[in-house]
Each structure stands twice: as C-alpha cells, then as structure tokens.
Amino acid sequence: MPEPLDLEYDIVADDYQTAGEASNNLKETLKMLGISSPICRRAAIITYEAEMNLVIHGGGGRIIANIDEDKIEIKTVDQGPGIPDVSLAIQEGYTTASDQAREMGFGAGMGLPNIKRNADIFEITTEVGKGTTLRAVINFTS
Ligand SMILES: Nc1ncnc2c1ncn2[C@@H]1O[C@H](COP(=O)(O)OP(=O)(O)O)[C@@H](O)[C@H]1O
Ligand SMILES: [Mg+2]
C-alpha cells in the first residue's frame, strides 16, 4: 500500500460548473496510487456525493481525505445551515434540494444513503445554524 497522503479541497457553494472536480481528482489520485478498483469506486461515490452536498446544501466547505496504509478517511466540513434531523436526512429519497438543483438533475435524496452504504464507518456531526461535519472511512481489508 502507498505512503500516507493527505488531500484537501475547497468546495464553492452553488457552483455547478466546477462541482465534481474534487471527487474526480481524488479518484484519479487513488488510481495512480494503485489502490484497488472496488475501493477507488467506493471512495469516488462517497466523495462525489459529499462534494455535491457541500455545493447544494452546505454553503460550500472543505473536503479532507487521509489516505493511509490500511484505510481512507474522507471528511467534509461546512459552516452551512446544519441538518435538523439526521435520521430523516439519511433516508432514501429524502431531499430539501432547491428547484434549481432539481432542474439540473440533483436532489434524488440518495447521496447520504449511498455514502453510508459505501463506508465502513459513517458519522455525521451537525448543529442547526452552525454547520455539518461528515466522516466516512473505508478499510482496505473490507
Ligand atoms: N452538508 C449539508 N448541509 C446541510 N444539509 C445537508 C447537507 N448534506 C445533506 N443535507 C441534507 O440532507 C438531505 C439528504 O441529502 P442527500 O441524501 O445527499 O440527498 P440530496 O442531496 O439529493 O438532497 C439534503 O436534501 C439536505 O436536506
Ligand atoms: Mg446529496
């Protein structure tokens, strides 16, 4: 497995033009490091959905990825509106996406369920009016 590596990306709110670039860069980096395709795929899904949530819901924020010998940890941090009911938000199909986001094909309400499904550890810490932190870990042995 590769040497430990940390990657950070700033994500801009409501910028659908550049949305997806960070997750794409992370995916290409993992491939270059020789990480197996199933793990790359899971990390790409998690990062893409987390990135889109920063763009659409979180008012922008930061993605921090720590690539270790035995795992990848993907975190997002934002100072957005927070999530009032996390158990509701992680249900399939639940969305508060704007009409604008829905017109562009976003807002299926499958992002958080997909992140959860693809992660070995999945945690959301959030406070209404303060922001949201998401943490997802993929173990290479899983
Ligand atoms: N970073 C975030 N900040 C605030 N709310 C969020 C954030 N991420 C997710 N949410 C809330 O959780 C809901 C479900 O998210 P998700 O499953 O990704 O579906 P979608 O993005 O399609 O709405 C969102 O509609 C939003 O209400
Ligand atoms: Mg989403």
CATH number at residue 19: 3.30.565.10
Helix (H) or strand (E) holding 78: strand 71-78
Cβ–Cβ < 8 Å for 26, 60: no
Output the average pLDDT for the chain.
95
Pocket test for ligand 1, best of 46, 63, 75, 112 (most atoms within 8 A of CB): 112
- Cα separation, 88 vs 73, in Å, equals 24
Write out pLDDT tens, residues 93-135: 999 999 989 999 999 999 999 999 999 999 999 999 999 999 9
Using alpha carbons, list the distances in angstroms from residue 110 to 1, 42, 51, 88.
Answer: 31, 15, 13, 12
Q: Please work out whether the CB of residue 56 comes within 6 Å of at least one atom of ligand 1.
A: yes
Number of domain units in the chain? 1
pTM of the model: 0.96
Residue nearest to atom 27 of ligand 1 (CA): 96
- Cα separation, 68 vs 123, in Å, equals 19
Residues of the domain holding 12: 5-139
| Nearest ligand by distance to the CA of 112 | 1
